[in-house]
Amino acid sequence: MTAMKSYFTGIDLPSNDILTNCMHCGLCLPVCPTFALTGKETSSPRGRIRLIKAVAEGTLDVTDGFINEMNFCLDCQACETACPAGVRYGSLVEAARNQIRMQGRESTAAITLKWIFLRNIVSKKYLLKLTARILGVYQSSGLEALLKRSVVIKKLAPKLAKLQELSPRIDGRFFDDIYPEIIHPSGQPKYRVGFLSGCIMNVAFASVHEDTVKVLLHHDCEVIIPKQQVCCGSLQAHNGDFEIARQLAKKNIDVFLSFELDAIVMNSAGCGALMKEYGQYLRDDPTYAEKAERLAAKVKDISEFLYDIGLKKPVKEFRHTVSYHDACHLVHSQKVSIQPRSLLQSIPGIDYVELNEASWCCGSAGIYNVIRHEDSMNILDRKMSHVKKTGAEYLVANNPGCLTQIEYGCAKENVSMNIVHLATLLRVVYEL
Please state the domain extents for the chain.
Answer: 16-102, 108-164, 175-306, 314-430
User: Which CATH code, of 1.10.1060.10, 3.10.105.10, 2.60.40.420, 2.60.40.1930, is assigned to 16-102?
Assistant: 1.10.1060.10
Report the alpha-carbon distance of residue 114 to residue 128 in Å, rounded. 14
> Same fold for the domain at 175-306 and the one at 314-430?
yes
- The string of pLDDT tens digits covering residues 45-62 is 999 999 998 998 888 888
- Classified as helix, coil or strand, 269 is helix
Alpha helices in 332-393 (DSSP H): 338-345, 368-371, 373-390
Give the list of residues 6+ apart from residue 288 with CB closer than 8 angstroms, or none.
249, 250, 253, 282
173 in Cβ contact with 129 (< 8 Å): no
**Model-level pTM?**
0.93
CA angle (171, 330, 205) in 5-degree steps? 5
**CA 222 to each of CA 318, 398, 399, 412, 414: distance values in angstroms, whole numbers, following the listed order:** 27, 22, 23, 41, 41
> What local confidence, expressed as pLDDT, does residue 158 receive?
63
In angstroms, the CA 273 to CA 88 distance is 13
Q: Going by DSSP bridges, is the β-strand pair 191-195/263-266 parallel, antiparallel, or unpaired? A: parallel
Q: What is the pLDDT of residue 154?
A: 63
**pLDDT score of 156:** 59
Q: What is the DSSP pairing of strand 182-183 with strand 221-224?
A: antiparallel
The tens-digit pLDDT sequence of the chain (432 residues) is: 344 456 777 778 788 878 888 888 999 999 999 999 999 999 999 999 999 989 988 888 889 999 999 999 999 999 999 999 999 999 999 999 998 988 888 888 888 888 888 899 999 999 999 999 999 898 888 887 777 776 656 665 666 666 677 778 899 899 999 999 999 999 999 999 999 999 999 999 999 999 999 999 999 999 999 999 999 999 999 998 999 999 999 999 999 999 999 999 999 999 999 999 999 999 999 999 999 999 999 999 999 999 999 999 999 999 999 999 999 999 999 999 999 999 999 999 999 999 999 999 999 998 898 889 999 999 999 999 999 999 999 999 999 999 999 999 999 999 999 999 999 999 999 999
- Judge whether 214 and 432 are in contact, CB under 8 Å: yes
Return the CATH number of the domain spanning residue range 314-430.
3.40.50
At the second CATH level, the architecture of 175-306 is 3-Layer(aba) Sandwich (3.40)
pLDDT at 429: 97
236: Cα within 13 Å, side-chain hemisphere = 26
